[in-house]
Amino acid sequence: MHDRPRCNGLRLPRREFLSGVAAMSALSAIRASAQEPGAAADPAAIDGPLGIPGPYPGRVIEVRKPGMISDGVRDRAAIKAALDRGMSELTGADDAVSAWRSFFEPGDVVAIKMNPVGRPLANSSTELMLEVVEGLKAAGVKPKDMFVFERYRGEFVDAGMDKGIPDGVNWGGLTYGDDPSQLELSWPDGDLVSGYDPDEFVSMNLIHRDHDPKDDRAYRSHLGTLITRKVNKVVLLPVLKDHGSAGITGALKNMSHGLVNNVARSHSSAEANVCNQFIPQVVSHPIIRKKCVLQIMDGIVGVYQGGPFARAENPHWTWENNALMLATDPVAMDRIEWDQIDAKRRQMGLAPVGAVGKLGEDAEREGFDMRQPQHVVLCGYLGLGEYRREHIDHRVIDA
């Protein structure tokens, strides 16, 4: 018998394991709205041919192609070649167009979820987004039925993502205006993308340290109306990054913190980090599970320290990784990402993300008493994907 609990071949310190157990026990008291109330309790009722974990559970395709970025300059042709190869390998299709058509068809209305938080050094690449748009068009999706978005419109614009949107494609942010409270649901001057659904939310007994416990809104995170009412499928472009509270930020956190409001409550202080609770429960919402059909991780630039940010003053915390990862299973994807970030941290003389505490100099950089990458494993426990490393079909391909 092992002297400590083990997970996927990684030995976890006892305090990390217990924090994960506590988060799982807390989930029993959490409620989620749903148009189909019984579905949340029965994953089989919401799993279809697409959605989470999708038609390829446990499969992660990593395409490596030197030249997707060189000296900070991205090459769209190289990115296209890597994406085409990855789509074919993920699906087993003879070509990329056939691969896109296995997910999408004429009449679909599709959202493309960007991630601008790592600007300026590591956010979802415009070149990758443009190739996703081309793939959707090849499958018969019309530009007017595409929405390129991020949670905050302001962050989307600050990253310059609005400048690369093709003509005819919609874009914006779920949060249209300035909302420090993260509790507003609509804006009178909003657009086709903005707003949150008053009827679809995840409710749990945790609130932001600055919120009033008597305010019912503080306990809910509402799904974007774009997701619940306007699109039937979502393609997500997370970025390969570490994270000060969640340990890593990949496919799972891109959904849990990018598709709903009131997310800061998951890590409103170093003493009250609850990403292990928040991320699994939000991703478990039936609408998110049903509509998030494809994950394409932008690993062209990786961030091993200081994430989710990648600021110009700390370029040494990033590296030119020149890779994309593709999956329908966000848990398997994030399991691989976790391994890769830990490997890079070891190379750079840093502790694994799951072992970083609030100690000495790390306290200022990491910001939290204990990172919680175990949310990946907990999502696996909930049937959201494959977390066991030995059960993951991770294929590394040179394009």
- Of all residues in the chain, what percent carry a pLDDT higher than 90? 82
Instruction: Give the model confidence (pLDDT) of 299-341 as tens digits.
Output: 999 999 999 999 999 999 999 999 999 999 999 999 999 999 9
Distance from C-alpha of 366 to C-alpha of 115, rounded to nearest angstrom: 20
In this prediction the pTM is 0.89
| Sheet strands (E) in the chain | 6-7, 10-11, 31-32, 59-64, 69-70, 73-74, 110-113, 146-152, 170-175, 196-203, 220-224, 233-236, 239-243, 247-249, 292-303, 318-327, 393-398
**Residues linked to residue 174 through DSSP beta bridges, in sequence order:** none
Residue 71 Cα to chain centre, angstroms: 26
Give the residue with greater pLDDT, 62 vs 32: 62
Q: Which token pair is 395?
A: 């294929």
- Of all residues in the chain, what percent carry a pLDDT higher than 70? 85
Distance from C-alpha of 9 to C-alpha of 50, rounded to nearest angstrom: 30
* The pLDDT of residue 294: 98
Distance from C-alpha of 365 to C-alpha of 66, rounded to nearest angstrom: 31
The answer for residues whose C-beta is within 8 angstroms of residue 347's C-beta and 6 or more apart is: none
pLDDT confidence tier of residue 36, bands split at 50, 70 and 90: very low
* The pLDDT of residue 360: 45
Residue 142 has pLDDT above 60, yes or no: yes
* The pLDDT of residue 356: 72
Mean model confidence pLDDT for the chain: 89
Distance from C-alpha of 152 to C-alpha of 135, rounded to nearest angstrom: 25
Amino acid in the structure at residue 180: P
* The pLDDT of residue 324: 99
Query: Quick one: average pLDDT of 131-149?
Result: 98
Instruction: Give the model confidence (pLDDT) of 162-179 as tens digits.
Output: 999 999 999 999 999 999
* The pLDDT of residue 14: 42
* The pLDDT of residue 311: 94
